[in-house]
Amino acid sequence: MGMQYYPAAGGNDLFDPMLGDIYLNGAMWSLLNAPAGVTINQKGLITVAADAQLAKVNEITVQAVYLGKEYARPFRLTKALDGVPGERGEGAPKYLGKTMMPSSTNTVYIKHTDTYSANVSADTGDYIAYVGASDPGSSVWKKNYCLRWNGSQWEQLDPLVSANTDYYMRAFNDIMNDNTETGAFSVVFAKKIMAMEATIDELQTKLIQVKKGIFGGSRFTKNSFGNVVDNGSSLTGFHLSQDGKLKASDVEISGHIFAESGTFSGTVNATDGNFSGLINSTGFLSSKYLGSAVDRAGWEIFEYFEFIPIGKKLNINGGGVLLNNTPNGGTNNYHNCIALWIDRITVDMIEIRGYPITIPNDRWVLCQCKRNDNTIVSHRYLFTW
């Protein structure tokens, strides 16, 4: 009976399942270009039969369909023995580390620590992280890219190709810890952070824990100490800190807002609103006023207050000499009144309600102002709201 292995996360090694690697339930697995005797079951378990028809080096692709999405990962299966006891096959491709010096051969100067570096010879398929300065033109030696030795030269690994993601993930620490700019790795990371391939990508619930915060735009930047700096509210951007506080240059919310308390330092505009509690104000509530000491036609006042929605009212303070349209007001009778509110009655009419000063038999002055109506409805008035 042959041996059974799981494909490792990097795609180039095989791990014994007893080591505790996790596999997916519900995925549909298959192998592409697998020799006879190399199979995979529906738990993602690869079996290499004792009589498998292996070449010295076997390039195989593991394929899976999981939650409607297709995945593919290449790996190399090397035959350990080739008929002669003790004859070893080629080793699996491996990550050699980071270098700051381009090379035209398979020998690269690997920076192992801050104080120790050494020349390392790459076998075919081995790869490195290049963290040095970018070479000009079409050179493959670009800062923060992974490169692989193909047997004759170094080739750049495209970070946008899904099959290359694992190479960049293995180089994560070397690229992130050696640079202030993450280059190609930022492309991989940004692409994968919300849609990680394989098991992480298809978790039914995604939870992201942020230790320090998230920020974007030009308003917020990070200083040399790793702290977020607010460069001023005149710039655009946002910052969500780990304690749950959000600062943003502008916020648009289409749903319900619930707040236990709050402070507004600027103007608050609302088309409509309901308040069930007490509203306290330390400033003057009235922000607008309108008045005239000469005759005004109905259409003039209507057009100014046309912003009031139909069926709604605007509470006002003030007063005036207004045309009264109530039955007890008579015809074309103008009366002094204290202004109370304005009702939007229809598309073409508003009504100004006031408390009468000169009408003994009526409790209202009701002044109707209509669209395109030239009737003089006021001799003078002053309203604030």
Least confident of 123-127, 147-151, 211-215: 211-215
Higher pLDDT, 147 or 2: 147
Q: What is the pLDDT of residue 42?
A: 79
Collect all residues with Cβ–Cβ distance below 8 Å to 83 and sequence separation of at least 6. none
Q: What is the pLDDT of residue 193?
A: 47
Q: What is the pLDDT of residue 21?
A: 42
| Domain at 73, CATH number | 2.60.40
Same domain membership, residue 143 and residue 104: yes
Q: How confident is the model at residue 53 (pLDDT cuts 50, 70, 90)?
A: confident
Q: Is 8 contained in some domain?
A: yes
Q: Which residues pair with 317 in a beta bridge?
A: 384
Same domain membership, residue 180 and residue 136: yes
Q: What is the pLDDT of residue 350?
A: 95
Mean pLDDT of the chain: 77
Q: What is the pLDDT of residue 271?
A: 67
Q: How confident is the model at residue 154 (pLDDT cuts 50, 70, 90)?
A: very high
Contact yes or no for 29/7 (Cβ under 8 A) = no
d(CA 112, CA 177): 13
Contact yes or no for 217/179 (Cβ under 8 A) = no
Higher pLDDT, 299 or 25: 299
Q: How confident is the model at residue 15 (pLDDT cuts 50, 70, 90)?
A: very low
What region does 97 belong to: left with phi over 0, alpha with psi -120 to 50, or beta? left
CA distances from 223 to 229, 243, 297 (A): 7, 19, 63
- Tell me the one-letter amino acid at 10: G
Tokens (6 digits) for 349 = 């009419």
Same domain membership, residue 183 and residue 101: yes
Contact yes or no for 108/128 (Cβ under 8 A) = yes
Same domain membership, residue 167 and residue 127: yes
- Tell me the one-letter amino acid at 279: I
- Tell me the one-letter amino acid at 349: M
Q: Which residues pair with 324 in a beta bridge?
A: 333
Q: Which residues pair with 111 in a beta bridge?
A: 117
Collect all residues with Cβ–Cβ distance below 8 Å to 124 and sequence separation of at least 6. 90, 93, 149, 150, 151
Contact yes or no for 63/75 (Cβ under 8 A) = no
Same domain membership, residue 193 and residue 103: yes
Count of domains observed in the chain: 4
For 204-234, b/e burial (b = at least 16 CB within 10 A) is: eeeeeeeeebebeeebbeeeeeeeeeeeeee
Q: Which of 159, 174, 198 is the last residue of a domain?
A: 198
d(CA 322, CA 358): 11
Question: What is the Cα 16 distance to its own chain's centre?
Answer: 39
Q: Is 346 contained in some domain?
A: yes
Q: Is 378 contained in some domain?
A: yes
Q: How confident is the model at residue 188 (pLDDT cuts 50, 70, 90)?
A: low
Least confident of 16-30, 133-147, 148-162: 16-30
Q: Is 204 contained in some domain?
A: no
d(CA 58, CA 89): 11
Contact yes or no for 38/102 (Cβ under 8 A) = no
Tokens (6 digits) for 118 = 């050494």
Q: Which residues pair with 31 in a beta bridge?
A: 62
Q: Is 282 contained in some domain?
A: no
Q: What is the pLDDT of residue 197?
A: 47
Q: Is 109 contained in some domain?
A: yes
Q: Are strands 333-346 and 317-324 parallel, antiparallel or unpaired?
A: antiparallel
Residue range 149-168: mean pLDDT, rounded: 84
Same domain membership, residue 16 and residue 65: yes
Same domain membership, residue 116 and residue 154: yes
d(CA 70, CA 27): 10
What is the share, in percent, of the chain residues with pLDDT greater than 90? Answer: 26
Q: Are strands 95-99 and 127-130 parallel, antiparallel or unpaired?
A: parallel
- Looking up tokens 């930022």 gives 186
Question: What is the Cα 355 distance to its own chain's centre?
Answer: 55
Same domain membership, residue 123 and residue 65: no
Contact yes or no for 148/159 (Cβ under 8 A) = no
Q: How confident is the model at residue 296 (pLDDT cuts 50, 70, 90)?
A: very high
Same domain membership, residue 52 and residue 23: yes
Q: Is 318 contained in some domain?
A: yes
Q: Is 281 contained in some domain?
A: no
Q: What is the pLDDT of residue 16?
A: 38
Q: Which of 78, 109, 135 is the last residue of a domain?
A: 78
Q: Which domain holds residue 16?
A: 3-78
Residue range 45-66: mean pLDDT, rounded: 84
